[in-house]
Amino acid sequence: MDEESFSLATMLIGLAGGLALFLHGMTMMSNAMRAMLSALLTGVVITTVVQSSSVTSVIAIGFVSAGILSLAQALAVIMGAAVGSTVTAQIIAFDVSNLAFLLVAAGFGLSMWKTRRLAALSGTVIMGLGILFIGLSMMSGFMAPLRAHQPFLDLMASMSNPLLGILIGAVFTAVVQSSSATLGVIIALASQGLIPLEAGIALVFGANVGTTITGLLATIGQPRTALQAAVGLFVFKLLLVLVWLPLMGVLETITRAVSPVAEGLPPAEQLAYEVPRQVANVHMLVNVTTVMLLLPFTGLLARLLVRLVGEGPRPDESGDLAADLNPVLLDMPPLAIDAARRELCRLGERVGDLLDAAVPAILDGRNAATEAWAMDERRIDRHHAAIVDFLEQVLLVQRAPDISRSAIGLAEAADYLEAIADVVDKEMIPLHKRHAERGTETDPRSRERLLALAEAVRHEFRRALQAVREEDQETARSVIDAKSQVRTLERAVIDFQIDAAPDEGARLLRPSALERELAESLRRSYSLIRRFVRVGTGLASSDRESV
């Protein structure tokens, strides 16, 4: 192996290592920032501090598919991410390599302060920032030999054609899936005086286009709304390039005017001083101005995207029983818990519909209705499994105690809902079939009492569902306190009655096995409703803590 190829191989290895450190530092910062804020903030505010427009765009796309954001709101978040990413470029354009190791040391020290979670996470952010700068410094140092590498110098000269620079920037960003990493490489090259401003502008355009690949990949397996948001990201970035490409000369003039200059230095040193800051400023100018231009039209753009991409099937029509449980929410536990609660209430609506129809259909002998319940119960089982699986994923990573309690409570509440459906499927339906074969008849007065009991149970179930949806512990307590009323209605069904018939004399009316067993199933359903509302509203945990 000759010396030149050996030097080139060493440079490429160093570049790869520096880029890996850069990305690792950014990932550390992003994860720690999200952990710091996830317990305090909800919604799109969390995404504005993760220092990665690609990550933010993926999160926004996930929010759209989960129904948390409308398409127009997601487009606004994506545009906001484009503005937020300019902060990253500005930070890495500063030459703070001398402080990098100090940041790592200070950050590591803080991160070891485990008794203070906020301080430990702040330390991780600082340490990530230091590692990012070390990676940037490594890339810059290993690229220094390119100053004498003629093929590379020829490539930079060929970037007088901006389309080539856009293509290179887009491909590189698509590979590393981070426009901030591309900007880091561009600034590292610029700090060695290896690229002029014109090439830097073209590469910045390419980085903007390439970052859309991450968003498009995030739509795989997602609803059509996610594809709408991803196409919206692509259209936004494409418009950014189309608006500014004819104005590159104007953009270059403006950038030079607002950026620091270094007159009197040799050409290579002047480029090394001026271009890193100029690249960061170009990135800020094109992103901020394009967002200002397009932001008022997000509603119109959303409507055009729906027409272009199509609405797609509704969640129920597509067979997705738990559309809100998007895996992207797992990185933000409060939002994951909110989504699980919404799906739990949807499951409750399914169970409630089944419970509402059960007693009247059994008493009326409607066989077709009872046969349809088996299919509904299987759908409930699948919905229940999806909710529990999602909550188990929330619990896989160590979470704050309140998140863990909520996840466990919601999973237990889902179990109780499934148990109520099982009462209908495994008790009431076999009971109906058995007595239908025997020709059992129901006394009219017992029938009225059974319907009154069923109505009371149905009413308390709907109130329980509302309490869980709104986390209303006061309503939950009133559902639990209705026990005596439900018990009285149950006794009215199963207690013996004296019939004082004037022509036949007094006679003792005994409830049939159908009436007794149906009343028992309704009583068991109400008992499960009480448990459901206790754990679903957190009342069970509150009562334990107050003891």
| pLDDT tier at 343, thresholds 50, 70, 90 | very high
Q: Where in the chain is the domain with CATH 1.20.58.220?
A: 327-546
Amino acid code (one letter) for 50: V
Q: Give the separation between CA 473 and CA 481, rounded to whole angstroms.
A: 12
Pick the closest to residue 50 from 110, 125, 103, 109 (CA basis): 125
Cα–Cα–Cα angle for 169, 178, 109, rounded to 5 degrees: 135
Q: Which residues pair with 499 in a beta bridge?
A: 507
Contact 514, 502 (CB under 8 A): no
pLDDT at 530: 95
92-96, 389-393, 434-438 — which is least confidently predicted?
Answer: 434-438
Pick the closest to residue 219 from 393, 72, 53, 58 (CA basis): 58
Q: How far is CA 486 from CA 448, 490, 526, in A?
A: 15, 6, 8
Name the CATH code of domain 327-546 (choices 1.20.58.220, 1.10.230.10, 3.20.20.450, 3.20.20.70). Answer: 1.20.58.220
Pick the closest to residue 532 from 484, 487, 466 (CA basis): 466
Q: Give the separation between CA 67 and CA 390, rounded to whole angstroms.
A: 16
pTM of the predicted protein model = 0.64
User: What is the SS3 assignment for 195?
Assistant: coil
Q: 483 vs 214, which has greater pLDDT? A: 483
433-458 residue pLDDT tens: 776 666 666 667 777 888 888 899 99
Q: How far is CA 428 from CA 423, 425, 518, in A?
A: 6, 6, 7
Cα–Cα–Cα angle for 132, 94, 184, rounded to 5 degrees: 45
Contact 453, 517 (CB under 8 A): no
Which regions of 466-531 does DSSP assign to beta strands (E)? 497-501, 505-509
Looking from the CA of 30 toward its CB, the CA atoms found within 13 Å total 24
Cα–Cα–Cα angle for 516, 521, 525, rounded to 5 degrees: 145
| pLDDT tier at 177, thresholds 50, 70, 90 | confident
Q: Is the pLDDT of residue 414 over 90?
A: yes
23-57 residue pLDDT tens: 787 777 766 766 665 544 433 344 334 445 666 67
